Structures are given as C-alpha cells and as structure tokens.
C-alpha cells in the first residue's frame, strides 16, 4: 500500500514538474516573440539584407568602421540585422559589429562596453571610424548617469557612471586610432532618463570635439507618422528591418559619409585603411 502511495506521489510531482516546464517554455516563447518581433510586418522578407543592392561609391566605400553597442547595434528585433549590415551592403564598407544585448556603458564587467572595447582585435589594427551606441540599457537599468568632468586624463574618469564610461571610451579611442570618434543615439521614445543621457552626450561632444549622430532630436525623423512608427519600431528602442533600412540607415550613412569626408579633407587622405 505504501509503495503504491509513493508511486502516486512521485507521479504527481512529475506531472507538476512537466507542467512547470511547459509553462516556462510558453512564457519564454511569448517573451521571445515580443522582443524579437519575427512576425511583425516591418520584418517582412522584402526588407531582408539579401535584397539590398550596392549603391554608388561614397566616402564609406572600402573603409572599416568599428561599431560598439548593444541590442540596437546587433539588430535584436530584426533577425540580428541592423543599420550596420545595411550600410555595409549599400556602401561596400567593412562594418564590424561589436554588440552584446543588455550591455551597458557604465561598469567594467566582462560584457560592458569598456571591457569589450579593450580586448577587441581592432585595438592592434587600423580602422577608419569608431562608432559607439549610446546604450538605452543605461537608462533601463538606471545606471548612475554621472557628470561631465573637467579632466582629459583617462585614468580620472568614473567608469561606474555612464558619462564617465563615455569619457573613458572617447579618450581610449582617440589614443588608439587616428580616426573620427562618433556616437549615435536612439530615436525618441518615452524615457526621461535616456533623454538626459542624450543631452549629456551633447555636452561631451562640445568638450571632446567628437561627432554625434543625434537621432533623438532629428526633426525630420520625429515627423514620422504614428502608423509608420509602429511599422518601423518593434518597441520604443528596437527597430524592425524596415525601421533600420528606411528610417535609420539613410541618416546614419549620410552622416558617416559627411564625417569621413571632412576628416579626410583635414588630414589630406584619399585611400581607405586596409580592412581587418
């Protein structure tokens, strides 16, 4: 009798565990669909990378761009395709995506921006442009924003704050490569913390003489209709393939071309740095 009872209890526990496992899988699938947006109209195959044609040669053609970022640079809600991939296809440049989802500027953990930048192979090789994403994760995870310092000494910056980390990255990039240092922001969404970081980045632009591709304050991009916004964005942070291709890519590509043209004119350069 006791043996039968034990078996029934064991069977009940097994059913409970199976039920919990199934529930977890269902929840995981729902979360993945929500984050990755695989069934959204903006991710239709007509916007696939393979359908993008090479454009006329421009200032990016043959150049190497290192882009440090998180899920927006990776293309989380667009099948891991982002503006970087579209620009590379359109312009014929070598766009290196150093992107880890949910990573932050602030901090020195292994997944942080700083740690990944310092150990990247490009540190020992030439690049033509360094591009860095102003991560929304610093706002989402409520990292300490910090303040713009008076110092230019790389050892003095508080990398536990977002601004301190950006100053460290700017100083590191300027010391490591003779190339433009560029940051870009996300488009406008309802997050005052990120808005503050955008404005602090603009202060860093003035201090360090870097370039900022400011999508947040871009008037033309902010004129997008509500329907187009829903089509272009999976959520407030992550574009769909259509959002990258039709909304973000033209602006970022145009600005990078301008920045490289101005840099090359100042330096008297005409030949691209060999790709990595």
* Residue 267's pLDDT band (cuts 50, 70, 90): confident
Which candidate, 258, 187, 194, places its Cα nearest to that of 223?
187
Specify the DSSP class assigned to residue 174: H
Phi, psi of 233 (to 5 degrees): -120, 130
* Residue 66's pLDDT band (cuts 50, 70, 90): very high
| CA separation, residue 146 to residues 39, 110, 125, 229, 271 (Å) | 39, 21, 32, 31, 39
Buried/exposed code over 37-72 (b: 16+ C-beta within 10 A; e: otherwise): beebebbeeebebeebeeeeebbbbbbbbbbbbbbb
**Mean pLDDT, the chain, integer:** 89
| Whole-number Å distance between alpha carbons of 255 and 215 | 11
What is the DSSP annotation of 242-273? HIIIIIIHHHHHHHHHHHHHHHHHHHT--SPP
Which candidate, 242, 192, 219, 225, places its Cα nearest to that of 49?
242
| pLDDT tens digits, 166-221 | 999 999 999 999 999 999 999 999 999 999 999 999 999 999 999 999 999 999 99
Fold adopted by 51-267: Rossmann fold (3.40.50)
Cβ distance 66 to 98 under 8 Å?
yes
Q: What percent of the chain has pLDDT over 90?
A: 82
Q: Give strand ranges (E) for 145-189.
A: 181-184
* Residue 47's pLDDT band (cuts 50, 70, 90): very high
What are the sequence ranges of the domains in the chain?
A: 1-35, 51-267
Beta carbons within 8 Å of 73's beta carbon, 6+ residues apart: 67, 82, 84, 97, 98, 99, 133
| Helix, strand, coil content of the chain in percent (nearest 5) | 55, 10, 35
* Residue 124's pLDDT band (cuts 50, 70, 90): very high
| pLDDT tens digits, 142-177 | 999 999 999 999 999 999 999 999 999 999 999 999
| Whole-number Å distance between alpha carbons of 126 and 124 | 7
Determine the pLDDT at residue 96: 98
| CA separation, residue 120 to residues 23, 26, 124, 125, 176 (Å) | 40, 37, 8, 10, 12
């Amino acid at each position: 009798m006791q043996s039968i009872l034990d078996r029934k209890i064991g069977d009940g526990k097994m059913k409970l565990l199976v039920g919990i496992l199934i529930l977890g899988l269902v929840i995981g699938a729902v979360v993945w669909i929500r984050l990755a947006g695989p069934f959204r109209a903006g991710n239709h195959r007509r916007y696939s990378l393979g359908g993008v044609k090479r454009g006329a040669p421009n200032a990016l053609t043959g150049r190497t761009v290192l882009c440090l970022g998180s899920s927006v640079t990776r293309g989380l809600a667009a099948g891991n395709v982002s503006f970087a991939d579209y620009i590379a296809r359109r312009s014929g440049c070598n766009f290196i995506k150093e992107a880890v989802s949910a990573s932050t500027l602030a901090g020195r953990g292994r997944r942080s921006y700083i740690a990944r930048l310092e150990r990247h192979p490009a540190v020992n090789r030439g690049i033509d442009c360094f591009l860095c994403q102003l991560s929304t994760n610093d706002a989402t995870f409520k990292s300490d924003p910090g303040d713009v310092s008076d110092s230019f000494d790389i050892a003095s910056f508080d990398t536990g704050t977002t601004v301190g980390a950006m100053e460290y990255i700017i100083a590191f990039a300027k010391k490591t490569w003779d190339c433009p240092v560029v940051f870009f922001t996300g488009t406008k969404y309802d997050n005052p913390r990120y808005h503050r970081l955008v404005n602090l980045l603009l202060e860093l632009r003035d201090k360090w003489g870097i370039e900022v591709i400011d999508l947040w304050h871009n008037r033309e991009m902010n004129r997008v209709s509500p329907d187009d916004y829903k089509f272009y964005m999976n959520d407030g942070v992550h574009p769909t393939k259509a959002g990258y291709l039709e909304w973000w890519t033209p602006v970022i590509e145009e600005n990078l071309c301008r920045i490289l043209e101005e840099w090359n004119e100042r330096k008297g350069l005409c030949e691209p740095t060999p790709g990595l």
